[in-house]
Amino acid sequence: MAQEWRPEPQGDPATHGQQEPHGDPVKRQRLVIGGIVVAVLILIGVVIWVLLNLLGTRPEATVSSPSPAPTAGPLPRDAEAKDFQVGDCFADFNANASKARVVACDTEHSAQLGAIHTYSADESFPGTNALRDKGREVCKDVKLNAAADDYVLLQQNVYPSTTSWDRGDRRVDCFVVVDSGNTIKEDLLAK
Protein backbone atom coordinates (compact mmCIF):
# COMPACT_ATOMS: atom_id res chain seq x y z
CA MET A 1 0.00 0.00 0.00
CA ALA A 2 1.54 3.13 -1.13
CA GLN A 3 0.78 6.37 0.48
CA GLU A 4 0.38 9.37 -1.57
CA TRP A 5 2.09 12.48 -0.55
CA ARG A 6 0.05 15.60 -0.80
CA PRO A 7 1.35 19.06 -0.08
CA GLU A 8 -0.50 21.10 2.52
CA PRO A 9 -2.82 23.70 1.12
CA GLN A 10 -0.97 26.93 0.65
CA GLY A 11 -3.86 29.27 1.20
CA ASP A 12 -4.44 32.39 -0.77
CA PRO A 13 -1.52 32.95 -3.12
CA ALA A 14 -1.78 36.70 -2.47
CA THR A 15 -0.78 36.19 1.19
CA HIS A 16 1.99 33.66 0.51
CA GLY A 17 5.04 34.48 2.70
CA GLN A 18 3.11 36.71 5.10
CA GLN A 19 2.19 35.65 8.58
CA GLU A 20 -1.17 36.19 10.04
CA PRO A 21 -1.15 38.56 13.01
CA HIS A 22 -1.18 36.79 16.39
CA GLY A 23 -3.75 38.27 18.71
CA ASP A 24 -4.79 41.84 19.27
CA PRO A 25 -1.94 44.39 18.73
CA VAL A 26 -3.23 46.55 21.62
CA LYS A 27 -3.05 43.59 24.02
CA ARG A 28 0.45 42.78 22.79
CA GLN A 29 1.54 46.40 23.36
CA ARG A 30 0.10 46.36 26.88
CA LEU A 31 1.95 43.11 27.65
CA VAL A 32 5.24 44.58 26.43
CA ILE A 33 4.76 47.77 28.46
CA GLY A 34 3.72 45.75 31.51
CA GLY A 35 6.82 43.58 31.14
CA ILE A 36 9.06 46.62 30.94
CA VAL A 37 7.44 48.15 34.05
CA VAL A 38 7.90 44.91 36.00
CA ALA A 39 11.56 44.66 34.87
CA VAL A 40 12.25 48.26 35.94
CA LEU A 41 10.64 47.68 39.34
CA ILE A 42 12.73 44.55 39.86
CA LEU A 43 15.88 46.44 38.86
CA ILE A 44 15.07 49.26 41.29
CA GLY A 45 14.48 46.70 44.05
CA VAL A 46 17.82 45.01 43.37
CA VAL A 47 19.66 48.36 43.40
CA ILE A 48 18.03 49.35 46.71
CA TRP A 49 18.86 45.93 48.20
CA VAL A 50 22.52 46.21 47.12
CA LEU A 51 22.83 49.75 48.50
CA LEU A 52 21.29 48.78 51.83
CA ASN A 53 23.63 45.81 52.12
CA LEU A 54 26.68 47.91 51.29
CA LEU A 55 25.74 50.67 53.70
CA GLY A 56 24.68 48.24 56.39
CA THR A 57 28.03 46.42 56.46
CA ARG A 58 30.20 49.50 56.23
CA PRO A 59 32.10 50.19 59.44
CA GLU A 60 30.91 53.30 61.17
CA ALA A 61 33.44 55.88 62.17
CA THR A 62 33.61 56.65 65.86
CA VAL A 63 35.19 59.99 66.49
CA SER A 64 35.21 61.36 70.00
CA SER A 65 34.45 65.01 70.29
CA PRO A 66 36.17 67.16 72.87
CA SER A 67 34.89 66.37 76.32
CA PRO A 68 34.59 69.00 79.00
CA ALA A 69 36.25 66.70 81.54
CA PRO A 70 39.47 65.00 80.48
CA THR A 71 40.78 61.89 82.22
CA ALA A 72 39.65 61.84 85.83
CA GLY A 73 42.08 61.60 88.70
CA PRO A 74 44.74 63.72 90.36
CA LEU A 75 47.17 65.55 88.09
CA PRO A 76 49.92 65.29 87.14
CA ARG A 77 50.08 61.55 86.55
CA ASP A 78 51.53 59.05 84.10
CA ALA A 79 48.96 57.39 81.85
CA GLU A 80 49.02 54.57 79.31
CA ALA A 81 48.34 55.63 75.71
CA LYS A 82 45.22 53.45 75.61
CA ASP A 83 43.78 55.53 78.49
CA PHE A 84 44.26 58.98 76.92
CA GLN A 85 41.03 60.91 76.51
CA VAL A 86 40.08 63.83 74.31
CA GLY A 87 41.07 67.04 76.10
CA ASP A 88 44.01 65.54 78.03
CA CYS A 89 47.11 67.76 78.08
CA PHE A 90 50.65 66.28 78.13
CA ALA A 91 54.01 67.57 79.37
CA ASP A 92 57.11 66.58 77.39
CA PHE A 93 54.94 64.70 74.91
CA ASN A 94 56.56 61.92 72.86
CA ALA A 95 54.24 60.32 70.30
CA ASN A 96 56.33 57.13 70.25
CA ALA A 97 56.08 56.48 73.99
CA SER A 98 53.53 54.05 75.42
CA LYS A 99 53.01 56.36 78.43
CA ALA A 100 52.83 60.11 78.84
CA ARG A 101 52.62 62.62 81.66
CA VAL A 102 49.06 64.02 81.85
CA VAL A 103 48.96 67.50 83.39
CA ALA A 104 46.37 70.16 84.04
CA CYS A 105 45.84 72.17 80.85
CA ASP A 106 46.46 75.45 82.68
CA THR A 107 50.04 74.32 83.41
CA GLU A 108 52.93 74.11 80.95
CA HIS A 109 52.49 71.34 78.38
CA SER A 110 53.49 70.47 74.82
CA ALA A 111 50.44 68.60 73.49
CA GLN A 112 46.71 68.15 73.83
CA LEU A 113 44.63 65.25 72.52
CA GLY A 114 42.09 66.71 70.10
CA ALA A 115 40.24 63.69 68.69
CA ILE A 116 40.17 59.89 68.62
CA HIS A 117 38.95 57.38 66.05
CA THR A 118 38.58 53.78 67.18
CA TYR A 119 38.32 50.91 64.70
CA SER A 120 36.17 47.95 65.73
CA ALA A 121 37.91 44.89 67.17
CA ASP A 122 36.90 42.64 64.25
CA GLU A 123 38.41 44.84 61.52
CA SER A 124 41.59 43.75 59.79
CA PHE A 125 44.66 45.97 59.61
CA PRO A 126 43.81 48.66 57.00
CA GLY A 127 47.43 49.49 56.15
CA THR A 128 49.74 52.32 57.12
CA ASN A 129 48.57 54.68 54.36
CA ALA A 130 44.91 54.21 55.30
CA LEU A 131 45.73 54.83 58.97
CA ARG A 132 47.69 57.97 58.08
CA ASP A 133 44.75 59.21 55.99
CA LYS A 134 42.33 58.42 58.83
CA GLY A 135 44.51 60.49 61.18
CA ARG A 136 44.31 63.48 58.86
CA GLU A 137 40.56 63.03 58.55
CA VAL A 138 40.12 62.85 62.33
CA CYS A 139 42.21 66.01 62.82
CA LYS A 140 40.00 67.98 60.44
CA ASP A 141 37.19 67.69 63.00
CA VAL A 142 39.23 69.23 65.86
CA LYS A 143 37.92 72.66 66.78
CA LEU A 144 40.34 75.02 68.52
CA ASN A 145 39.49 78.04 70.64
CA ALA A 146 40.85 81.60 70.30
CA ALA A 147 43.80 80.84 72.63
CA ALA A 148 45.24 78.55 69.94
CA ASP A 149 46.07 81.66 67.89
CA ASP A 150 48.81 82.49 70.42
CA TYR A 151 50.83 79.39 69.50
CA VAL A 152 52.47 77.85 66.45
CA LEU A 153 50.69 74.50 66.48
CA LEU A 154 51.19 71.30 64.54
CA GLN A 155 49.02 68.26 64.07
CA GLN A 156 50.51 64.94 65.10
CA ASN A 157 48.73 61.66 64.42
CA VAL A 158 49.42 58.48 66.32
CA TYR A 159 48.13 55.22 64.88
CA PRO A 160 48.78 51.49 65.35
CA SER A 161 51.56 49.51 63.72
CA THR A 162 50.84 46.00 62.45
CA THR A 163 52.34 44.66 65.67
CA SER A 164 50.28 46.83 68.01
CA TRP A 165 47.17 46.16 65.87
CA ASP A 166 47.66 42.44 66.46
CA ARG A 167 47.78 43.19 70.21
CA GLY A 168 44.40 44.99 70.01
CA ASP A 169 45.39 48.63 69.42
CA ARG A 170 42.65 50.17 67.26
CA ARG A 171 43.05 53.89 68.06
CA VAL A 172 44.00 56.72 65.77
CA ASP A 173 44.74 59.81 67.86
CA CYS A 174 45.05 63.41 66.73
CA PHE A 175 47.24 65.59 68.93
CA VAL A 176 47.69 69.35 68.78
CA VAL A 177 51.37 69.97 69.57
CA VAL A 178 53.99 72.70 69.68
CA ASP A 179 57.29 72.19 67.91
CA SER A 180 59.38 72.04 71.09
CA GLY A 181 59.11 72.58 74.81
CA ASN A 182 56.23 72.89 77.23
CA THR A 183 55.09 76.29 76.03
CA ILE A 184 51.30 75.86 76.01
CA LYS A 185 49.67 77.10 79.19
CA GLU A 186 45.94 76.69 78.50
CA ASP A 187 43.27 74.42 77.07
CA LEU A 188 43.21 74.84 73.28
CA LEU A 189 40.03 72.94 72.41
CA ALA A 190 36.79 74.76 71.70
CA LYS A 191 34.00 73.83 74.09
Per residue in 151-167, pLDDT (tens digit) is 999 999 999 999 999 99
Whether the per-residue pLDDT at 137 is higher than 90: the answer is: yes
**3-state class (DSSP) for residue 11:** coil
Q: Give the model's pLDDT for residue 170.
A: 95
As a whole number of angstroms, the distance between CA 156 and CA 164 comes to 18
Q: Element (H or E) spanning 115, and its range?
A: strand 111-118
As a whole number of angstroms, the distance between CA 28 and CA 43 comes to 23
CB 113 within 8 A of CB 146: no
Q: DSSP characters for 26-42?
A: HHHHHHHHHHHHHHHHH
Region of poorest pLDDT, from 60-64, 95-99, 107-111, 138-142? 60-64
CB 121 within 8 A of CB 168: yes
β-strand partners of 64: 116
Please count the residues of the chain.
191
Mean pLDDT of the 163-188 span = 94
With bands split at pLDDT 50, 70 and 90, how would you rate the model's confidence at 64?
very low
Region of poorest pLDDT, from 34-43, 105-114, 148-157? 34-43
Whether the per-residue pLDDT at 93 is higher than 90: the answer is: yes
CB 93 within 8 A of CB 111: yes
pLDDT averaged over every residue in the chain: 83
Q: Give the model's pLDDT for residue 146.
A: 95
Whether the per-residue pLDDT at 59 is higher than 50: the answer is: no
Compare 142 and 28 and report the one with higher pLDDT: 142
CB 158 within 8 A of CB 134: no
pLDDT in tens, 3-21: 555 555 555 555 444 555 5
Q: Give the model's pLDDT for residue 21.
A: 53
CB 172 within 8 A of CB 159: yes
